[in-house]
Amino acid sequence: MVTDGPVLSARGLRKRYGGVVALDDVSFGVARGEILGVIGPNGAGKSTLLKTVAGHARPDGGEIWLGGRRIDRLPAHRAAHLGVTMAYQVPRPFGGLTVRQNVLVGALSRRNHRRHVNARVAAVLDATGLSDQAGRAAATLPLLDRKRLELARAMAGSPDLILLDEIGAGLLPAELDSLITLLRTTHDEGVAMIVVEHVEEVISRLADRVIVLDWGRIITEGRPEEVAADPRVRELYLGTDPDGPEGPGSPEAPGTPARRPRQAGGVPLLRLESVSASYGGARALADVSLEVPEGGLAAVLGANGAGKTTLAGVVSGLKAPDSGRLLLGGRDITRLPAHARVKLGIAHCPEGRRMFAGLTVAENLEMGRYAAGDQVAARQRAMVQEVFPILAERAGQLAQTLSGGQQQMLAIARALMSGPRLLVLDEVSLGLAPVAIDTIYSALRGISESGVSILLVEQNVHRSLAVAGTACVLDHGRVSFSGPPGELLGQGRLWQVYFGGVPETPVQESHDTQDKGDSGVPSAR
């Protein structure tokens, strides 16, 4: 129910965190009763945008107007008094209070509504389906009801604008349907919303309009179906088309490996059998089974929030599974801690690099060899210098002074220093310029050909498929595809995972998959 006149207007927003530009000249408006979707890859600036509007972060430049009042210099509680509320991805109820008391806290955020607070609380509890649980302690609610309570608390103050930060994360399909129905009901009351979501189904079913952020800038906007069909958005989520004139794997793309996936024998080094994992009540992985061949490279793909980083953490021992088991070379490692897995040959290069910023390149590499003897360390140091010669040149330089691409090389090299049998890589292309990505992916082929097995967790589809011998797609924590990379490109499955629909023009099959073979295909059980 969109009506004339903006409830919110943002003009030229800028926000930096040190040397990182989170928002760069962002301007947009939200009409009364409109649902504005905000999408983009990790690090695009989506959460920063919400925090800036809500008053949790102050912009370095630009203006935010709520109706006729400027709010970009107001703290969060003042913004809430004026009618801006927020619901978070991870519900944060007051666990020791009842459901009704939690909603009452939200209702009291608008000073001019306090005379009618009891009636408002009752109405919100009824609208969100929580009336029967009003006296229940919030800490005892299941995940869907905690999500409902998060939204109820945001609604209780009769806001003009609700900010929703990935509220659909962790829900099963039926639960997601229930949440979307609830959001539609709220929308029908004329409340404007800004919805940041990795679950694209929420955006496609709810949003009147969508803006797409990348590197802190708006690259396009329009109706959900228009945005999903935009070639720039396809490239942003799926990477450059390998069959395009400048795609990875084409002869015109300098520095990128040809599309000839490395094949390995059928013996799996790593096997996951029906692995499930969760955070509180939020299911991140559900009955996931896959294999990484000995000496092969397996790519795990999926949209943001699909469970990829959780999978990487489960493999390296940073996250304990709820059920299922993991086998490394036939040995059950399900209950082994992370440091024990390092000694058995698993190395993890996490998302975000996580350097020892105040140490030199050489000192960072030494930190990676703690589980390796002198002979192994010397061999790995020689390998690292061959794969990433720039690191040898910068050995005495502080890690924090390296470029983003060089920091990513150092993160991979540090993981290699332990002499791993299996290298787990999480989003190695995130936030890097194309030329740096070219260098990283060329190096991955060399690492794989040296005999190291690689589990490559990526959002950049075409880049990873250009080097992978096998592929697995996660969708809402479940395996929706496993098989040769060439088969994946010729189907609409990726489009459904990333955009919630079937493309008008099907993605073309790769022209160089004739030698893909059948060995080493990850199994989905």
Question: 247 falls in which pLDDT band (50, 70, 90)?
Answer: very low
Edge-first strand order for the sheet with 161-165 is 84-87, 161-165, 192-196, 35-39, 209-214, 217-222
| E strand or H helix that includes residue 343 | helix 338-344
Our CA angle for 220, 225, 226, nearest 5°, is 35
Question: 498 falls in which pLDDT band (50, 70, 90)?
Answer: low
Q: Which amino acid is at 167?
A: I
Rounded to an integer, the average pLDDT of 143-166 is 89
Q: Across all residues in the chain, what is the average pLDDT?
A: 83
How many residues would you count in the chain? 525
Instruction: Tell the CATH topology of 3-238.
Output: Rossmann fold (3.40.50)
pTM score, whole prediction: 0.69
Q: Which of 71-85, 257-271, 387-401, 501-515 has the lowest mean pLDDT?
A: 501-515
Residue 33 confidence (pLDDT) above 80: yes
Whole-angstrom distance, CA of residue 337 vs CA of residue 340 = 6
Q: Residue 305: its pLDDT value, please?
A: 75
For residues 228 and 110, the model is more confident at: 228
Residue 408 confidence (pLDDT) above 80: yes
Structure tokens at 273: 């059998």
Helix H, strand E, coil C: the string for 160-214 is CEEEEECCCCCCCHHHHHHHHHHHHHHHHCCCEEEEECCCHHHHHHHCCEEEEEE
Q: For 346-376, how does the pLDDT look when each residue is reduced to its tens digit (9 = 90+)? A: 999 988 778 888 899 999 998 888 777 777 8
Our CA angle for 258, 262, 265, nearest 5°, is 165
Nearest to 242 by CA among 468, 519, 498: 468
Question: 491 falls in which pLDDT band (50, 70, 90)?
Answer: low
Q: For 278-335, how does the pLDDT look when each residue is reduced to its tens digit (9 = 90+)? A: 987 778 899 999 999 999 999 999 877 788 999 999 999 999 999 999 999 999 999 9
Q: For 95-110, how does the pLDDT look when each residue is reduced to its tens digit (9 = 90+)? A: 999 999 999 998 887 7
Structure tokens at 418: 């332990």
Q: Which amino acid is at 217?
A: R
Out of 83-92, 232-241, 505-514, the most confident range is 83-92
Structure tokens at 206: 């709810």
Q: Residue 379: its pLDDT value, please?
A: 84
Q: Residue 499: its pLDDT value, please?
A: 64
Nearest to 418 by CA among 466, 488, 473, 364: 364
Rounded to an integer, the average pLDDT of 472-491 is 83
- CB count, 10 Å around CB of 314? 25
Whole-angstrom distance, CA of residue 234 vs CA of residue 149 = 35
Nearest to 271 by CA among 287, 294, 290, 298: 290
The rounded Cα 383 to chain-centroid distance in angstroms is: 31
Question: 202 falls in which pLDDT band (50, 70, 90)?
Answer: confident
Q: Residue 236: its pLDDT value, please?
A: 78
